[in-house]
Amino acid sequence: MLSIIKLTFREILSRRIFFITLLMTLAFLIFFGVTNHYAAQGFIQAMHGFDGTNTVIQNSIRSQIIMMGLNFSSMILALLTILSTVGGVAGEIENHQIDTILARPLPRRSYILGKFLGLGTVVVVYALSLFVGVLLINQLTGGDIAARLEPSSVVQGGLIFVLSPLLIVAAGLWLSTRMSTINSGIILIILYGVGFVGGLVEQIGTLLNNPSLINTGIVSSLIFPYNALFRKTDALLTDSGNSAMAMFNGGAGSEPSNLMLGYGVFYTVALLFWAIRHFEGRDV
C-alpha cells in the first residue's frame, strides 16, 4: 500500500494542472489581500464623521469579506480534488498502467486504499495551506474589518474545511472504478453543483420561512454533502447566520446540524467501501 501512496503522490505533483492550480491560488490570495486592504480603507473613510463606530455595518463587512475568501477557496479546493481524483483508477485502466501494478502481489483493496490515502494527503495539505492563508491575510490586511476569530472556532472550522475534500476523493474513486475519466468528472461536477445550488435553495427557504425550499435544500445536501460541510465551517468562523446577504456568498444562512457532519463521515466511508468492493470484482 505504501508504494501506491508514494506513486499517487508523485503522479499528482507531476501533473501540470497541479502547478497551474498553485499559481492561480497564489493569484487569488494576492487579490484577496488587496481586497481586504482597500475594503478596510474604504470602511475608515465611510465611517469618518460618525461619533462612534457603526458596529452593525462593521460586523456585516467582516462576515462578507471572510465569507468571500472561504467560499472561493472551497470552490478551488473542490475543483482541484475532482480533477485529481476522477482519473485515479480509470486513467490507469485506460492507458494500461494498471496491468503492471496489479501484476505485483498487491491486493486490490490495498490499491484503492493507497490511492485514497495518497490523493487525500495531497488535498488535505493543500486545503490546510489555503485555509491558513485566507485567515492570515484577512487578519494582516483587514484592519478594522478583520474577522474576529475564536481559537476554538478556528480549530473546529479548520478541521471540517481541511477534511471535507476526502468526501470528494472517495466519490471520485468510486466513480473512477465504474466508468471512464470523462464520465466520472462530468458526474462529480454535476453532483457538486447540485449540492451548491441546493445549499442556496435551503438558505432562501430559511430566509422566506418556506419549508418546501428548506426540505429541497436538505435533500440536495444528502445527495452530495460537501457544500453543507463548508457551510458548517462558515457558520463556525463568522456571525453571518443572521445576515440576509449570507446566501449570496454561499454562507451560513442556515447552519447545518452536527448530524450532517456525521452523515458526511458515513458518506465518505460508504463510498470508499463500495469502490473497494466493485474494484475487487471488476475484470480489468
CB 235 within 8 A of CB 252: yes
Q: If you search the block for the grid coordinates 490546510, which residue do you land on?
A: 128
Distance (Å) of CA 71 to CA 82, 101, 127, 194: 17, 39, 13, 16
Residues contacting residue 263 through CB under 8 Å, at least 6 positions apart: 222, 225
Look at residue 282 in the predicted model and tell me its pLDDT. 74
pLDDT band at 244 (very low <50, low <70, confident <90, very high): very low
Q: If you search the block for the grid coordinates 492561480, which residue do you land on?
A: 24
Mean pLDDT, rounded, for 46-60? 62
Amino acid (1-letter code) at residue 114: G
pLDDT band at 268 (very low <50, low <70, confident <90, very high): very high
CA distance 27 to 51: 38
Look at residue 160 in the predicted model and tell me its pLDDT. 94
Q: Which DSSP string corresponds to 50-62?
A: -SS--HHHHHHHH
CB 152 within 8 A of CB 58: no
pLDDT at 248 over 60: no
Listed ranges 138-142, 158-162, 234-238; the one with the highest mean pLDDT: 158-162
CA distance 258 to 175: 27
Which residue in 183, 177, 170, 230 sits closest to 203, CA to CA?
A: 230
* H-only helix segments in 142-180: 151-163, 165-176
pLDDT at 242 over 50: no
**What are the start-end ranges of the E strands in the chain?**
none
Span between the terminal Cα atoms of the chain, in Å: 19
CA distance 128 to 276: 27
- pLDDT of 171-225, one tens digit each? 999 999 998 889 999 999 999 999 999 888 988 888 888 889 989 989 999 999 9
Look at residue 89 in the predicted model and tell me its pLDDT. 86
pLDDT at 76 over 70: yes
Distance (Å) of CA 44 to CA 33, 47, 50, 146, 169: 17, 5, 10, 13, 44
CB 232 within 8 A of CB 178: no
